[in-house]
Structure 1
Amino acid sequence: MLSIIGTVGVPACYGGFETLVDNLLDEHELDKNITVYCSSKSYTKKVSRYKNANLYYIPLNANGSQSIPYDIWSICHAVYKGTDNILLLGVSGAICLPFIRLFSQVRIITNIDGLEWRRSKWSGLIKKFLKFSEKLAVKYSDVVVADNKAIADYVKSEYGVEAEVIAYGGDHAVVDRLNLSDEGYALALCRIEPENNVGLILEAFSQTDKKLKFIGNWDKSDFGLKMKAKYQQFENIDIIDPIYDIQTLFEIRQKCSFYVHGHSAGGTNPSLVEMMHFNKDVIAFDCNYNRASTEDRAKFFLDIKELVECINNSQLINNAKMMKEIASRRYTWKIVKQQYFDLFR
């Protein structure tokens, strides 16, 4: 038996972990009784089966302050039901693992996500809790998974533990045959948070004539509303609400001039590896995670001045084919699924 814990649930309707699980379930050779734990708060229609998995609903939100009891409830239920393997995605519920180890031999594989405690959006107290949870997750898991070599290096130096590096697939984003064109706009896509250098990107484009389409959840935070109010007045900046339809995203991605990736945390970012499949030039914020994901072959920036220079000289950037080659070699769901299945077996 395999229990997958730590996501909003499937069908995928939220983020990277949910997309991961959705694609893992697409594999029928994994002959196991699989249960995916889902948040009943996120699904108006609650089905009992999806693809080759059973779904079990927890009446709590999977994100925010309820994520901790949500994960703990899921872990305890899975152990009570006699599961053999737990795939724990994230460290929120790891505080219960020492207790679980007192009476269960369940095999625990934990993807520790992108060093959640470092994210600037959290208060000092929450950061301390998440760091403590990370420590417990590494100590009490049988296998630790990192989605980026930079995170694996951190786990080794911080805890003396070797982590398995398994990234994300991005090929699901290419839903049709690519018909590449350049309609004169740059593209940025992310959750609207300070750590994704949203302000830096917007300010840089406001100093140029290059058109920018920036897709994100602008209305979900005071920060997003502030950025939207300040920069939507610029004629070359198109502030776009979240787009979840993958066909619509496909059309926007394949018609852009280049992609700007501002994430400074979180390991291997799904939005980046998805875009690398589109054979478009990539300009990325200069941090060890993005360098590891792109094998140092993207064009990098650290501040507004450097990004303005990249934008004004974008015709000289020529890394599109390399991004596509790396994505095809490392970031397909066939590769990622096989890596996870090897751990389950």
Structure 2
Amino acid sequence: MKIAILGTVGVPGRYGGFETLVDNLVIHHDRMDSADTITVWCSGKDSVERPESYRDANLRYVNLRANGVYSILYDAISLWQAVRSEHESILLLGVSGALALPIIRLISRAKIATNIDGIEWKREKWNGIARAVLRASEWAAVRFSHEVIADNQAIADHVKETYDSPCHVIAYGGDHALTSVADPVSLPEGLPDRYALALCRIEPENNVHMILEAFSEIRYALVFVGNWTHSAYGRNLKSQYAEHPNLHLLDPVYEPGALRALRDRVTFYVHGHSAGGTNPSLVEMMHFGVPVLAYDCVFNRYSSEDRALYFKTAKDLVSLVCATGPEDSIAIGLVMQEIAQRRYTWDQIGKAYFNLLG
């Protein structure tokens, strides 16, 4: 069988949940020694070297950005090329190109499985035309895909309630985060030996302001990693909080050794995401066996099986940090690790995807 994987920047994965997913699906397929062939569509704008293959996957390129407004055309072209090259099974990641699916279904008998990601049109950053297009794309993805995938039960519930359609729940693996060798030399100077860690895109829906407000009121050290310069929101927060002695606001860290070194020193993981389903950074951190302080929403409760600590306000977060002693921290961390090992490993995620695509 010829399997196509579309909708991401491509592999090797350098950033992003979907890119990490594809990277690990390719690794899993390579280890399977399967007779099936896989081709991953990649952005020619984001890949300088343009290799022809990665492990046992063939790579094809579309000379457009894979994200932003170009993602609609990027995904539509990728879909067209996949059916023209007679791929029998297509995994579409995200709904950007889903408006092309009615035409694709008319001209091709390929099996199409779409991971609809989070409920994208509900995010605060979208409004007007963008929100309407995203909502229509979600509808098209559910209506015209043979199989629909969600990474979180809350999203599957949304699909069932909104469209009366079945939905497979396949999360993300996080165990790859443990395979890297720590490289503490690559970390910035001046970081404390132990600290709470937050790591995310600097957006309002990730409650960055709430987390910084909470830790600015206590002496507990916080390392916060994110793209502070990419928005007025991030720049304003960095200007407001950068001088607090216990707050360490770092630019994005992508190098695996540096990430491992950061995570090895963590006492609490603070997860402020309020939208988007199962978040890769959360399930990665759960494998480290540290307590999770998560924003109280249905996505995070599903991901952590209601066993993490949850906050709704900065005051809540302050109380959790101050009230959680060493014994509680160890107990909660072990529970997070058990859940991660049971639900969030790439071996089981890879098997679930390829069983569905077969």
Which bin holds the TM-score, normalised by the shorter protein?
over 0.9
1:11 aligns with 2:27: no
TM-score normalised by length of structure 2: 0.93
**Within 1, Cα distance between the matches of 2:94 and 2:180?**
32
Query: Where does residue 330 of structure 1 map in the other structure?
Result: 343
| Aligned-pair CA distance for 1:176 | 5.3
**Within 1, Cα distance between the matches of 2:49 and 2:259?**
25
| Aligned-pair CA distance for 1:177 | 8.1
Does the aligned pair in 1 maintain the 2:181–2:257 contact within 8 Å? no
Query: Where does residue 111 of structure 2 map in the other structure?
Result: 107
1:295 aligns with 2:320: no
| Aligned-pair CA distance for 1:127 | 1.0
1:248 aligns with 2:258: yes
TM-score normalised by length of structure 1: 0.97
Letter in 1 for 2:211: I
Query: Where does residue 73 of structure 2 map in the other structure?
Result: 69
1:25 aligns with 2:26: yes
| Aligned-pair CA distance for 1:24 | 0.7
**Within 1, Cα distance between the matches of 2:280 and 2:235?**
24
Letter in 2 for 1:112: I
1:320 aligns with 2:330: no
| Aligned-pair CA distance for 1:184 | 3.1
**Within 1, Cα distance between the matches of 2:229 and 2:245?**
20
Gaps in structure 2 of 5+ consecutive residues: 183-191
| Aligned-pair CA distance for 1:104 | 1.3
Decide which moves more: 273-282 or 223-232: 223-232
**RMSD over equivalenced CA pairs, Å:** 1.3
**Within 2, Cα distance between the matches of 1:228 and 1:41?**
30
Query: Where does residue 194 of structure 2 map in the other structure?
Result: 184
**Within 2, Cα distance between the matches of 1:165 and 1:189?**
25
Question: Could you tell me which of 95, 98, 121 is aligned with 1:91?
Answer: 95
Query: Where does residue 162 of structure 1 map in the other structure?
Result: 166
For residue 36 of structure 1, give the secondary structure of its aligned residue in structure 2: strand
For residue 257 of structure 1, give the secondary structure of its aligned residue in structure 2: strand
1:133 aligns with 2:133: no
Hey, which bits of structure 1, 4+ residues long, moved more than 4 A?
Answer: none
**Within 1, Cα distance between the matches of 2:310 and 2:178?**
25
**Within 2, Cα distance between the matches of 1:313 and 1:212?**
17
Decide which moves more: 25-34 or 71-80: 25-34
For residue 260 of structure 2, give the secondary structure of its aligned residue in structure 1: helix
CA deviation vs aligned residue, 1:65-88 (integer Å, no higher than 9, x gap): 100000001001111111101100
**Within 2, Cα distance between the matches of 1:54 and 1:5?**
12
Does the aligned pair in 1 maintain the 2:44–2:61 contact within 8 Å? yes
Does the aligned pair in 2 maintain the 1:110–1:137 contact within 8 Å? yes
Does the aligned pair in 1 maintain the 2:294–2:311 contact within 8 Å? yes
**Within 2, Cα distance between the matches of 1:277 and 1:256?**
12
Letter in 1 for 2:117: D
**Within 2, Cα distance between the matches of 1:125 and 1:202?**
33
**How many residues were matched structurally?**
342
**Within 1, Cα distance between the matches of 2:20 and 2:60?**
18
**Within 2, Cα distance between the matches of 1:177 and 1:329?**
23
Gaps in structure 1 of 5+ consecutive residues: none
Letter in 2 for 1:264: S
Equivalences for residues 173-212 of structure 1 within 5 A: 173-175=177-179, 183-212=193-222
**Within 2, Cα distance between the matches of 1:122 and 1:68?**
15
